[in-house]
Structure 1
Amino acid sequence: MARPSLSAVAELLKPITWFAPMWAFACGVVSSGVGAGGRWPLIVLGVLLAGPLICAASQAANDWYDRFVDAINEPGRPIPSGRIPGRWGFYIALAWTALSFGVAVFLGPWALAAGTLGLVLAWAYSAPPIRLKRNGWWGNTAVAVSYEGLPWFTGAAVMAAGFPDPRVLLLAALYSVGAHGIMTLNDFKSVEGDRRTGIDSLPVTLGVARAARFACWVMAVPQAVVVGFLWAWGQSVHALVVAGLLAFQALLMRRLLADPRGQAAWYNATGTTLYVLGMLVAAFAARALTLAGG
């Protein structure tokens, strides 16, 4: 039986997508307010779990179940191009899922619970009969929670060796809501294939222009709420920084809305960068509250 090359496997696992959950895990670590001394092995293991393991497993599963869609949208992808032959894509997804679960066991019960939920959502997103991806509302919610909320929770839980502070959970939840908009932008590149294969992404169901406006509002409103909470918690400097980052995003959104399909990738490289910087600022605000005993 033909075997895939290592380069094809690496492409299947999409390392570029690992950044978001790894960053969110790091935000969880920071927001916990717990020092890293003596916990570096757990931190490194958690970062690996969030990105190269769970996220990579989700990417492999998605590519396997999306192989017919990718044959239309991205025929050069490893599976439709034949560089991942036979059922190797499925086997790789299963192997990475099992490895992810095994690593999560070492990070404690709350991290194991979050990791297990992340894996369940990864398969529910791509695999029938559930295949949340067929509905842009549910599918994007599953990915947003998996990429932002769950890794943030895991990072905080690993450091605290228990359930995180409610304010940490609130910040993680708000940035998960905002990430729904980022996931909508990712759907602009596959509108034609989604239409032909019955995937009701938001650009398909709402139309590209309306979906772009919706995505902008969904990204912006939770950040504005974060600003309000940080101000109410006495973290005025952090609140102003997040507000400034949001203001810059609003300027970039004007260009995005002028040509959503053409500028979605550009916005993901610019506006989304400002978004995740705001996450880290909010995490430092939560850390300051914890250290101050507030």
Structure 2
Amino acid sequence: MNLPEPRAILTLLKPITWFPPMWAFACGSITGSETINQHLPIFFLGLLLTGPLVCASSQAVNDWYDRHVDAINEPDRPIPSGRIPGSWGLYIAIIWSLISLYAASYLGVIGFLATVLALVLAWLYSMPPIRFKNNGWIGNLACGVSYEGLAWITGATLLSGGSIPNKPSLLLAGLYSASAHGIMTLNDFKAIEGDRQMGVRSLPVQLGAKRAAQFSAAFMLIPQILVMILLSYWDKQGYTIVIGVLMMGQVFLLVDFLKKPIQKALFYSGFGVPLLVSGMMVAAFAVNSMELGS
């Protein structure tokens, strides 16, 4: 019986993708508690769950159901290259999902239900016949809700002892979920040809590269503008200015991306997106300061 290589398993689980939901969970946690240091076990278990477990499960699921597309776009990926043989890609996705549920059982009912919802979205995103990712509008929305909004709200809820997050926290979770739609579109520019052949209607396939880039930029920028408006309304001008400066850096980098989206999407992911997610943390501390001041 052929077994997968340990390094191939790690590649399948894509550690580089674990950061966004872990970051969102941390941002939500900051809005939910003034004293995270008093809830460190819950905080670190939540980080473990959102990144190395649930997000990793979603990556394994996606690679299994994308193995035919990857054979065209990325033939060196673990499954099409044969480094993960047979049905081991599916087995790993199932095992990792079950481990995620087991870990979630230590976070109480709220943590467990949030994990179930995240895993359901992960499987439906990739698995036929539903396969959200076959439509870029729906698939990117599902990812945005799961990676950012759900992780944020879960962190806020768990770190506040099970209380419903306050209105500012919920608003920010929703807005940054919308911005994640644009971030997810960045990943689609590298796979246009394979997606077109396999019937995956990503935004670059539906709209063409340049229009998809424009929509991606709008999805990333407009929610941040609304965040700045809200922070100003909440009398948090200092935080608003910081996010504004971060947005200026994004706009500067977007100029090149909009001219050459296929060539510059990866570059913008590496240098522009970190400015956006830095603003998430700034906004989270703004909400935290509102609690401190109340």
TM-score band, normalised by shorter chain: over 0.9
Q: How does 1:202-241 map to 2 (within 5 A)?
A: 202-241=203-242
For the residues of structure 1 that align with 2:35 and 2:107, how far apart are their CA atoms?
17
- What amino acid is aligned across from residue 275 of structure 2 in structure 1? L
Q: How does 1:130-279 map to 2 (within 5 A)?
A: 130-162=130-162, 163-279=164-280
Q: CA deviation at 1:37?
A: 3.0
Deviations 1:193-214 (A, max 9, x none): 0000000000000000000011
Moved more, 31-40 or 80-89: 31-40
Q: CA deviation at 1:256?
A: 0.5
- Partner of 1:127 in structure 2? 127
Q: How does 1:78-89 map to 2 (within 5 A)?
A: 78-89=78-89
- Partner of 1:15 in structure 2? 15
CA contact (8 A) 1:108 1:161 kept: no
CA contact (8 A) 1:33 1:286 kept: no
- What amino acid is aligned across from residue 251 of structure 2 in structure 1? A
For the residues of structure 2 that align with 1:187 and 1:194, how far apart are their CA atoms?
8
> Which 5+ residue runs of structure 1 have no aligned equivalent?
none
For the residues of structure 2 that align with 1:113 and 1:164, how far apart are their CA atoms?
16
TM normalised by structure 1 equals 0.98
Q: CA deviation at 1:176?
A: 0.5
Q: CA deviation at 1:38?
A: 3.0
Matched, 1:288 2:289: yes
Q: CA deviation at 1:145?
A: 1.1
Q: CA deviation at 1:121?
A: 0.4
Q: CA deviation at 1:250?
A: 0.9
Deviations 1:238-289 (A, max 9, x none): 0111111112111111011110000000000111010000000000001001
Q: CA deviation at 1:36?
A: 1.8
- What amino acid is aligned across from residue 241 of structure 2 in structure 1? L
CA contact (8 A) 1:141 1:177 kept: yes
- What amino acid is aligned across from residue 171 of structure 2 in structure 1? L
- Taking only aligned residues, the RMSD between alpha carbons, in angstroms, comes to 0.8
Q: CA deviation at 1:33?
A: 3.2
> Which 5+ residue runs of structure 2 have no aligned equivalent?
none
Q: How does 1:50-65 map to 2 (within 5 A)?
A: 50-65=50-65
- What amino acid is aligned across from residue 209 of structure 2 in structure 1? V
Q: CA deviation at 1:161?
A: 1.4
SS in 2 for 1:97: helix
CA contact (8 A) 1:33 1:291 kept: no
Q: CA deviation at 1:34?
A: 2.9
CA contact (8 A) 2:30 2:36 kept: no
Matched, 1:109 2:109: yes
Q: How does 1:39-54 map to 2 (within 5 A)?
A: 39-54=39-54
Q: CA deviation at 1:105?
A: 1.7
Matched, 1:32 2:27: no
- What amino acid is aligned across from residue 158 of structure 1 in structure 2? L
SS in 2 for 1:34: coil
Q: CA deviation at 1:106?
A: 1.3
TM normalised by structure 2 equals 0.98
Q: CA deviation at 1:292?
A: 1.2
SS in 2 for 1:108: helix
- What amino acid is aligned across from residue 204 of structure 1 in structure 2? V
Q: CA deviation at 1:107?
A: 1.2
Residue identity (%): 53
For the residues of structure 2 that align with 1:33 and 1:105, how far apart are their CA atoms?
21
CA contact (8 A) 1:181 1:216 kept: yes
Deviations 1:68-105 (A, max 9, x none): 00000000000000000010000000011111111112
The count of residues paired between Structure 1 and Structure 2 equals 293
For the residues of structure 2 that align with 1:232 and 1:108, how far apart are their CA atoms?
35
